[in-house]
């Protein structure tokens, strides 16, 4: 008998499609508007993972025609110096999006810095004003990772209305905004987390299961309802016995693939979509600031 295996939700292919459309629209609009969209990514210190993420974002900007105003600061940079940089970028007419690459060195207050960003230039969608707009279902810049998940589900025409959705994880980066976006799409949403009792009994009810906790292989096949859609937001770097490191998700993809109907791969699922949504947020901010209505890409 043929073994059933889940269909993959290919975030990499969709991200490329979005980037291609962005490139076309920027090429078309730039001559009329006199400048490209601009994104400033601020990085402090020399965290190698952060440096790789920033390079990835800058390459993606170059690919679609967004100008990068990247700034890299030494570890000892003070809170005041960064606040001055953000204040200047808020006023800079060339800059449409501002992003502070996390984590920051311990002496810096990341929440306070994120709150200094003009909400209309908040490319990461994490400012309290933008989170408030999401709660109220008002237009605003949306948190990139959950927005990327929603775009991926829409691309594969996965119905959400009336479905049981379970989000495992409650971070302000993913879990909370993810739950709000699913609610906005008329799903019935449960949020589970590290203190939830009997996680398996919660996840087994999910038509849509989103794992975003940062624990490698937490979700196993027996925790998944047959035919469910499983979205793995986890990005965990683990070393194998030979010392080589690889990326794994929060879902045990191998066993789960035999139960779920749809599954996101790691890497190549949610990660590329996060970057695509960052570019889309920057472009949306560019259009809004120039008084042009935004169209869904």
Q: Assess contact for 276 and 255: CB atoms under 8 A.
A: no
Is 169 annotated in some ligand binding site? yes
SS3 208: strand
- Selecting among 10, 96, 122, 124, the annotated active-site residue is 124
Q: Residue written as tokens 């937001």?
A: 233
101 is catalytic: yes
57 is catalytic: yes
165-195: string of b/e by CB count within 10 Å (b at 16+)? bbbbbbeebbbbbbbbbbbebebbbbbbeee
- Selecting among 10, 96, 101, 225, the annotated active-site residue is 101
Is 171 annotated in some ligand binding site? yes
124 is catalytic: yes
204-231: string of b/e by CB count within 10 Å (b at 16+)? bebbbbbbbbeebbbbebebbbeebbbb
Q: Assess contact for 114 and 30: CB atoms under 8 A.
A: no
- Selecting among 57, 163, 176, 225, the annotated active-site residue is 57
Positions annotated as catalytic residues are 57, 101, 124
Binding site as annotated, residues for NADP(+): 169-171
Feature table: binding site: 169-171
């Amino acid at each position: 008998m043929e073994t059933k295996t889940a269909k993959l939700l290919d975030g990499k292919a969709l991200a490329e499609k979005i980037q291609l459309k962005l490139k076309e629209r920027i090429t078309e609009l730039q001559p009329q508007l006199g400048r490209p969209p601009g994104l400033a990514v601020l990085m402090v210190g020399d965290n190698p993972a952060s440096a790789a993420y920033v390079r990835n974002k800058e390459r993606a900007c170059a690919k679609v025609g967004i100008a990068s105003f990247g700034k890299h600061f030494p570890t000892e940079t003070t809170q005041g110096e960064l606040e001055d940089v953000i204040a200047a970028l808020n006023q800079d007419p060339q800059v449409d999006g501002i992003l502070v690459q996390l984590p920051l060195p311990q002496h810096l207050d990341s929440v306070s810095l994120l709150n200094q960003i003009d909400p209309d230039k908040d490319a990461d969608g994490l400012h309290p004003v933008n989170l408030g707009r999401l709660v109220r279902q008002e237009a605003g810049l949306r948190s990139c990772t959950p927005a990327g998940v929603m775009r991926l589900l829409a691309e594969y025409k996965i119905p959400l209305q009336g479905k049981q959705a379970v989000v495992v994880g409650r971070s302000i980066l993913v879990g909370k905004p993810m739950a709000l976006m699913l609610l906005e799409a008329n799903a019935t949403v449960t949020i589970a987390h590290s203190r939830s009792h009997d996680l398996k009994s919660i996840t087994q009810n999910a038509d849509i299961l989103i794992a975003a906790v940062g624990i490698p292989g937490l979700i196993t096949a027996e925790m998944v309802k047959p035919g469910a859609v499983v979205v793995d937001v986890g990005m965990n770097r683990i070393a194998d016995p030979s010392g080589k490191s690889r990326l794994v998700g929060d879902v045990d993809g191998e066993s789960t693939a035999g139960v779920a109907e749809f599954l996101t791969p790691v890497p190549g699922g949610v990660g590329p979509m996060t970057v695509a949504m960052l570019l889309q947020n920057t472009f949306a901010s560019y259009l809004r600031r120039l008084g042009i209505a935004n169209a869904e890409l």
